[in-house]
Structure 1
Amino acid sequence: MSALAGALARCPAIAIVRARSVRYVPAVLDVLAGAGVTAVEVALTTPGGLRAIEGAATTPGLVVGAGTVLHAAQARAAVDAGARYLVTPAVVPDVIAAGVDAGVPVVCGALSPTEILASARAGAALVKVFPIGTVGGVGYLRAVRAPLPDIPLVPTGGISVAESVGYLRAGARAVGMGGPLVGDAADGGDLAALAGRAETLVRTLRPEPADA
C-alpha cells in the first residue's frame, strides 16, 4: 500500500493548499494535520512550493504531495523534495510516466470518460475528476462511474464540506478540496476557522460503523 492509499484509508480527502507565498503554509499544514486530515497537496503554483513540500515531508500524520504538476521535470523535482504523490490538473502522460518510474502514485486530472479511461490506462493511481462542480457534481460522478466502475475517482473542484460525504456515497475513492476547506488561511487568514472546517470534514467522512 502506498503512503497515499494509507492516508486516504484514514481520511478520504486530499486538502489542496494554494497560496501567494509559502509564509503561512506550514501553519496551515499543522492545523490540517491536527484536525485529522492525512493527505495534503501543495500546489506548485505557490512560489516556493517545493521548499514547503520539503519542510513538511516529515510532518507526523501527514502525507504531502505536489499539485499542479505539469511536466516531468517538475515531477522529478517534487519527488526529490519529498512529495509522496503527484497531482495534475489535466491528462499529462509524461508526469504519469515520471511518477511510475519513481514509484510515486499520480492523481491525474481528467473530466470526460475518454480522459478518465486514458489516465487509468497510462498508469494513474487515482483519477481526479476536475472541475466536478461545474459539470453536475454528484450526478456527473455517478454517470461516469456507471461504465467505469473500477477506476478510483477523486472528484475535485467546488466541493463543500457538507457535500463531501455525498461523493463518497456515490462511489468516490476520496474528495479533493481546496478553497471551500482552506479558505483564506494559506494567505494569512483565519486558522481557527480552518481548524473548525477541517474537524467537521474529518467527522463527516469518518467511516460509518459496520452493522453488528
Structure 2
Amino acid sequence: MTTTATPALAPRTGAEVLDVAPVVPVVVVEEVAQAVPLAQALLRGGIGVIEITLRSAAGLEAIRAVAAEVPGMVVGAGTVVTPEQALAVTAAGASFVVTPGSPPRLVDAVLDLGIPALCGTGTLTEMLTLAERGLTAMKFFPAEVSGGAPYLSAVHGPCPQLRFCPTGGISPANAASYLALPNVGCVGGSWLTPKDAVAAGDWARVEALAAAAAGLRTAS
C-alpha cells in the first residue's frame, strides 16, 4: 500500500505550493512527538506536503521538527495571523505560510520575508486586492460557506489568472468537484489526519488516507 511521494523541491512561490499534491493536509499537532511520524506516514502515502497550523501550543516546534527530520516533506505553517508569527515560522523552517485572511500588515510582512504564501480570501474584492500585490495563488476560506465550487467556477470568468487552494468544509465527498475546476490547484483538508488516529499513533490509517487522497488528482 505504501506509495511514497516523490520528494518535492521547496516551492519558490505560492503557485508552486498548489502543485505539490492534490490535497494539503491541514493538521493540528497537540504534541511535538507526533509531528515527525505523522509527516512520515503522509509521505509514505504519497502526500509530500503538510500544513501544520498554529492552533496549538505545539505548532511552532512541530514545524521545526518536521522541517529538520523529514526530508522530502514540504512543510508549511497554517493559521498565521500576525507578522510576528510569519517571522517565527520562517525561522523555524517552514517552506510556505498560509493565512486565513489577508489584512494589509500581514500581507506586507509575508512579502517582505519573501516566503511563498497562500493568503486567505473569501470575496472577489479580497482576491483582486491580493492580485494587485502580485499574488495570483491564494487560499479560499472558508470554502463551503463562502459559495464553494460554484463560487470559484464563477470567479474563473473575470479572473482566469487566479488559482486557489479551497479549504474549509472539504471532504472526500466534495474534493473532486473542486479539483475539477481549472482555477483550483489543490484543496486543504483535515480528514487525512483524524484526531483519534493521531492520538493513538495509528500511522497506518493516516498512510491509507493519504494514499486515497493522492489518487484524487488522477480521479479528477
Deviation at 1:6, TM superposition (A): 4.8
Deviation at 1:165, TM superposition (A): 2.6
Name the amino acid aligned to 1:196.
A
Q: Deviations over 1:12-43 (max 9, x none)?
A: 33211113333422221111111111221110
Find the aligned partners of 2:148 and 2:37 in 1 and give their Cα distance.
31
Deviation at 1:189, TM superposition (A): 5.9
1:83-98 equivalence runs, <5 A: 83-98=94-109
Find the aligned partners of 2:40 and 2:164 in 1 and give their Cα distance.
27
1:36 corresponds to 2:68: no
1:140 maps to which of 116, 126, 151: 151
User: Could you list the runs of 4 or more consecutive aligned residues of structure 1 that deviate by over 6 angstroms after TM superposition?
Assistant: none
User: Counterpart in 1 of 2:83?
Assistant: 72
Q: Does the residue aligned with 2:47 lie in a helix, a strand or coil?
A: coil
Whether the 8 Å CA contact 2:179–2:185 is kept in 1: the answer is yes
Please give the TM-score of this superposition, normalised by the length of structure 2. 0.84
User: Counterpart in 1 of 2:186?
Assistant: 174
Find the aligned partners of 2:13 and 2:159 in 1 and give their Cα distance.
25
User: Would the alpha carbon gap of residues 95 and 207 (structure 1) be closer, same or farther in structure 2, given more than 3 Å must change?
Assistant: farther
User: Would the alpha carbon gap of residues 174 and 140 (structure 1) be closer, same or farther in structure 2, given more than 3 Å must change?
Assistant: same
Name the amino acid aligned to 2:162.
I
1:165 corresponds to 2:199: no
1:95-174 equivalence runs, <5 A: 95-124=106-135, 126-171=137-182, 172-174=184-186
Find the aligned partners of 1:3 and 1:127 in 2 and give their Cα distance.
11
Whether the 8 Å CA contact 2:26–2:52 is kept in 1: the answer is yes
Q: Deviations over 1:135-176 (max 9, x none)?
A: 332112112222211111111111113422321211202111
Gaps of 5+ in 1: none
User: Counterpart in 1 of 2:206?
Assistant: 194
Q: Which structure would you say has the larger RCO, counting Cα contacts within 8 Å and 6 or more residues apart?
A: 2
Find the aligned partners of 1:93 and 1:123 in 2 and give their Cα distance.
13
Please give the TM-score of this superposition, normalised by the length of structure 1. 0.87
Q: Deviations over 1:28-64 (max 9, x none)?
A: 1111111111221110112121111111114222110
Deviation at 1:107, TM superposition (A): 0.6
Deviation at 1:207, TM superposition (A): 8.1
Query: What root-mean-square deviation, in Å, do the aligned CA atoms of Structure 1 and Structure 2 show?
Result: 2.2
User: Counterpart in 2 of 1:14?
Assistant: 24
User: Would the alpha carbon gap of residues 43 and 133 (structure 1) be closer, same or farther in structure 2, given more than 3 Å must change?
Assistant: same
2:60 maps to which of 22, 41, 50: 50
User: Would the alpha carbon gap of residues 124 and 86 (structure 1) be closer, same or farther in structure 2, given more than 3 Å must change?
Assistant: farther
Q: Does the residue aligned with 2:19 lie in a helix, a strand or coil?
A: helix
